[in-house]
Amino acid sequence: MVSKRFWIFIIKKNVFNIFYLFLVLEELKGPVLYIVGTPIGNLEDITYRAIDVLKSVNVIFAEDTRVTSKLLSRYKINKKMISCNAVTENKKISLLLDYLAKGNSVAFVSDAGTPGLSDPGSLLVAAAFREGYKVCPIPGVSSFNTIVSVNPFRDKSVFFEGFLPNKGLKRFKRIAELYKRGDAFVLLESGHRILKLLVEISSVSLDAKVLIGREMTKIYEEYQIGKPLELKKYFESSKDKVKGEFTILVSRSRS
């Protein structure tokens, strides 16, 4: 005979599932623009809520539909996608507003991470707010919160800068300005410029404390800490070590 406790457990579980489904359905009542955080490498790093939203919206605006299609395929999501990158974002505003005006729910995703940090998306958000539509963030992982979570330098504040100018004196001046502020700061850099960046940081301060995350959350993920030239020596020791994407945290902390 099935115990009373078993039936109580089943009822409680189903009530929770029904309540959760109700919340999801209420949240997905259009027209809404969802800004959805996606993984930065490992496709498992996505929330249940993000998956539910992507499954339920009418259309997905994506920075690169080829990249996003891999994520959607992984979670068996079949939705219409519209390319919307930094070059075309301004031109896609009217299309977004047309979808919202017809009562549709829309999701925007960047190639990786949370939109708004060195990614397109802000123009869509501004347009939706301006026209009085609901905008709903679906939080997720980002290179910024990932690197900060393993920061060993005990900084009280961390500033996100993202990508520096590719060339010229502006690049060096910006590093100097950031270091002079006194706060730790986070940079994003590609493999073919990481050694140059470490030299530039050393030109500002030989004693700067640096944490580097390479290929974060991916197969060849690694983290290294040290002074700029120490890290340069490490990364230039092998061609494989300068491959991939780099997230750099620079600190003046004395701890």
Of the listed ranges 25-34, 127-136, 179-188, 221-230, the least confidently predicted one is 25-34
pLDDT at residue 187 is higher than 70: yes
pLDDT at residue 237 is higher than 60: yes
**What is the pTM for the complete model shown?**
0.84
Rounded to the nearest integer, the mean pLDDT of the chain is: 91
The residue ranges of DSSP E strands in 63-208, in sequence order, are 81-83, 106-109, 134-138, 158-163, 184-190
The stretch 183-194 carries a mean pLDDT of: 96
C-alpha span between 50 and 36 (Å, rounded): 6
Identify the pLDDT of residue 13: 60
pLDDT at residue 203 is higher than 70: yes
The stretch 100-104 carries a mean pLDDT of: 97
Identify the pLDDT of residue 117: 79
pLDDT at residue 1 is higher than 80: no
Q: Are 147 and 249 in contact (CB under 8 A)?
A: yes
Burial of 211 (0-12, 13-18, 19+ CB in 10 A): buried
Residue with more model confidence, 197 or 182: 197
Identify the pLDDT of residue 210: 98
| CA distance readout (Å), 117 to 96, 187, 236 | 21, 11, 28
Give DSSP secondary structure letters for 114-156.
Answer: -TTSSSS-HHHHHHHHHTT-EEEEE----HHHHHHHT--S--S
Identify the pLDDT of residue 23: 53
The stretch 200-217 carries a mean pLDDT of: 97
User: CB neighbours of 11 closer than 8 A, spacing ≥ 6?
Assistant: none
From the centroid of its chain, how far is CA 91? 23
Q: Are 46 and 137 in contact (CB under 8 A)?
A: no
Structure-token match 């959760």, residue found: 20
pLDDT at residue 16 is higher than 80: no
Domain 31-141 has CATH 3.40.50.300: no
C-alpha span between 69 and 62 (Å, rounded): 9
Identify the pLDDT of residue 166: 84
Identify the pLDDT of residue 105: 98
The stretch 98-104 carries a mean pLDDT of: 98
Task: Enumerate the domain spans of the chain.
Answer: 31-141, 144-251
3-class SS at 221? coil
pLDDT at residue 17 is higher than 80: no
Band of the pLDDT at 14, cuts 50, 70, 90? low
Identify the pLDDT of residue 195: 97
The CATH topology of domain 144-251 is 3.30.950
Identify the pLDDT of residue 157: 94
